[in-house]
Homo-oligomer: A and B are copies of this chain.
Amino acid sequence: MNHSEIMIIGGGPAGMVAAGTCRQYYPEKKITVIKKDEKSLVPCGIPYVFGPYLESPEDDMIPCGNRAAKMGVELIHDEVVEIDFDNKVARGRNGSRYGYEKLIIATGSIPKKPTSIENYDADGVFYVPKDPDYILRMHSRVKAMEHVAVIGTGFIGVEIAGELARSGKKVDLVGSRILKHAFDPEFSEQMESIMLHDNITFHKEKKTTRIRVDDEGRAGGIELHDGTLIPCDGVIMATGYVPNTEMAKKSGLSMRRYDTIYVDEYMRTTESDVFAVGDCAEKRHFITKRTVPIMLASTATAEARIAAANLYNINIIKTFSGTIDIFSTVVGNTCFASAGITEEDARKEFITIESSTIVSDDKHPSKLPNNHKQTVKLVALKRSGTVIGAQIIGGIDAGEMINILAVIIENKMSVFDLLNLQVATHPLLTSAPTAYPIVQAAQNLVAKRIGEL
C-alpha cells in the first residue's frame, strides 16, 4: 500500500495549490497527489482553445508531472473510487490502496447535463469538461464545423461563442440574458450589443427544447421552445457545472445543498483529518450567508491555502466570512468585471440597497492613446453605506480594477471610507484623480444621503 503523510485527491487549481502550499509549510512530509489525467488544462483558458489566440488545446495545458517533480510531490495517475475514513485508506479504480495521515479532497466539478433537452447527449453535442482528452477530441471536430450552436449564456458559453465567431464561424447563442448572475441588465445589454457586432446571433430569453439529429443520430440543428429551428453542424452545451462529489457522498461524507461537501471555516469536513477545497466544497455567500453554487478557481485556491496552513494545527484564520462572487471577462476588446452582488440580485434577496453608476475615461487627458470609456457601478447597503457589489466595463485594466473592489468588499468598507481612498493615478494608466470613478460613485451615494437613519 502506498502511504503518504499528506494525500490530495484531484490535480486542478485547488489540488495543485494545496500540494505546493503544503510543500512550503511542511518541507519534510511525503505529499501525494492522485489525479485522473496526465495533463491538466488551465480551466478558465478552455474557451480560448477554440479561438485564434491559441494554436491548440496543448497551449492551454499544464505539465503537472514536471510541476509536481519540481515541488517534490509524488503524482499518481488514478481515480479514487472510495475512501475508508475509519482506516484512512483510499481505493483506486484498479484496486490500488492509498493510505494517508491527512487528506484533502479537491475533486472539482463536472458539466451539468440538461436532461430536459431531447437528445442532449447525441453525437455532435459537446460539453466543456476540464478533461484534456475530451477537449482535444472536441477541438478537432469543432474546428471542422462552419456553424455552431452554443447553449448557455454564462461565462463559458459567452466566451466560447466569442472565440468561435472570432475564428470565422457562424454562431448562434441561446439562453437567458448574457451573464445574468454577474451583471445587471444594463451591463448585459452592452455586452449583447458588442457580441452582435461580432456576428453572433443571440436568441435572448429563449429555451432549447430539442437537438435535431439525422438518421445516424448526429446533431444537425436545435429547436427552441417557440418553434424556431436553427440548423447547425454541432452544439456546445455550456449549461453549468455540478460538484464532482459522488465518490465523497458514497464514502459517507456529510453533504450540503447543491451536492457540495460540508466544510467549516478551516475547510474541515465531518471526518477527522479530511479537508475539502474548491468546487466540490460548500460555499456560503458573503451577504446572504446561503449556500451558493459559485465556482471560482481563485476561491478554490484561497481555500487550498487555508486548508494547507491549518492541516495539523490552527494557524491562520480564514478572513473572509463568505464567498464573494468575482468575475471578469472580455467581450470584443472590452472588459466586463463584477464583484459581489448585483443590484437585481440584491433586490431579489430583499437587501436594502442604493446604487450609483459613473462613466469616465481610463486615461487622462482623454486624448491620450488607447483611452477607453470606463463605467463603474457601486451597490451599497442603504443604511450603513457598506459596499456589497460593483460592476465595471472598461479596458484591459478593469480586470485588476475589480480586485480593488474585491478588497473593498472583503474589508466591509463603506462609501464614506471610499471618499478617502488613496490611489495611484497616471495619465497613461488610469482615470484622472479628480474623477476616479470608484471614489466618484461613492461620493454620489453619500450625496444621495445614504446612511441617514
Q: Which residues of A come within 8 Å of B, CB atoms?
A: 13, 16-17, 20-21, 24-25, 42, 44-45, 48, 53-54, 59-62, 296-302, 305-306, 309, 316-320, 323-324, 326-330, 335, 337-339, 364-365, 367-370, 395-404, 406-408, 410-411, 413, 416-417, 419-430, 432-434, 436, 439, 443-444, 446-447
Identify which of B297, B305, B420 contacts A318 (C-beta below 8 A): B420
CB distance from A276 to the nearest CB of B (A): 17
Contact of A406 with B422 in the complex, beta carbons under 8 Å? yes
- Residues from chain B with a CB closer than 8 A to the CB of A326 are 422-424
CA distance A427 to B434 in the complex (A): 32
List B contacts of A410 (CB < 8 A).
421-422
Chain B residues lying within 8 Å of A305, measured Cβ to Cβ, are 419-420, 439, 443
Q: Is the CB of B306 within 8 A of A420?
A: yes
- The closest CB in chain B to the CB of A421 belongs to B302
Contact of A365 among B54, B302, B323, B420 (CB under 8 A): B54
- Contact check, A434 vs B400: say whether CB atoms are below 8 A apart: no
| B-chain residues with CB within 8 Å of residue A416 when the two chains form the complex | 316-317, 319
Could you tell me the distance between the alpha carbons of A401 and B396 in the complex, rounded to whole angstroms?
Answer: 12
Contacts of A429 in B (CB 8 A): 328, 330, 335, 337, 396, 398-400
Nearest Cβ in chain B — how far from A208, in angstroms?
Answer: 27
Question: Ordered nearest first, which 5 A-B pairs have the shortest CB separation?
Answer: A399-B429, A326-B424, A297-B433, A298-B433, A400-B401
Residues of chain B lying within 8 A (CB to CB) of residue A20: 434
A16 to B309, CA, bound (A): 49
Q: Which residues of B contact A45 (CB under 8 A)?
A: 364-365, 368, 427
In the complex, what distance in Å separates the CA atom of A59 from the CA atom of B369? 12
State A16–B434 Cα separation when bound (angstroms): 8
A433 B60 Cβ-Cβ under 8 A: no
10 A-B pairs with CB atoms under 8 Å apart are A297-B434, A305-B419, A319-B420, A323-B422, A329-B426, A396-B396, A396-B428, A399-B430, A403-B423, A407-B411
Point out which of A306, A403, A436 has the most chain B C-beta atoms below 10 A from its C-beta: A403
Per the bound structure, the CA–CA distance linking A296 and B436 in Å amounts to 14
**How far does the Cβ of A246 sit from chain B's closest Cβ, in whole Å?**
25
A365 / chain B contacts, CB cutoff of 8 Å: 42, 45, 54, 59-62
A24: which B residues are within 8 A, CB to CB? 443-444, 447
What is the CA–CA distance of A335 and B335 in the complex, to the nearest angstrom?
A: 19
Closest to A49 in B: B365
Which residue in chain B gives the minimum CB-CB distance to A368? B53
Chain B: minimal CB distance from A168 (Å) = 17
* In the bound complex, CA of A428 to CA of B328 (Å): 9
Closest chain-B Cβ to A195's Cβ sits at a distance in Å of: 16
With A24-B447, A316-B446 known as contacts, the answer to whether A424 contacts B328 (CB < 8 A) is yes
- Contacts of A446 on B, CB cut-off 8 Å? 309, 316
- Other-chain contact of A54, B44, B309, B329, B367 (Cβ < 8 Å): B367
**Are A402 and B428 touching (Cβ within 8 A)?**
no
Query: In the assembled complex, which residues on chain B have CB atoms less than 8 Å from the CB atom of A368?
Result: 45, 48, 53-54
Q: List the B residue with the shortest CB-CB distance to A394.
A: B400
Partner of A397, one of B319, B396, B417, B447: B396
- Chain B residues with CB under 8 Å of A398's CB are 400, 429
B302 and A419 form a contact (CB under 8 A): yes
Query: Which residue of B is nearest A322, CB measured?
Result: B422
Other contacts beyond A399-B429, A404-B407: 16, CB < 8 A: A13-B433, A13-B434, A21-B443, A42-B365, A44-B426, A298-B425, A299-B422, A309-B419, A316-B446, A319-B420, A397-B399, A400-B400, A404-B406, A407-B408, A410-B422, A411-B413
Decide if A447 touches B301 in the complex (CB within 8 Å): no
Docked-complex contact B404 and A403, CB < 8 angstroms: yes
* A421-B444 Cα distance, complex, nearest whole Å: 28
Cβ–Cβ < 8 Å partners of A420 in chain B: 302, 305-306, 318-320
Are A53 and B369 closer than 8 Å at their CB atoms? yes
**A263 vs B20: C-alpha distance in the bound complex, in angstroms?**
49
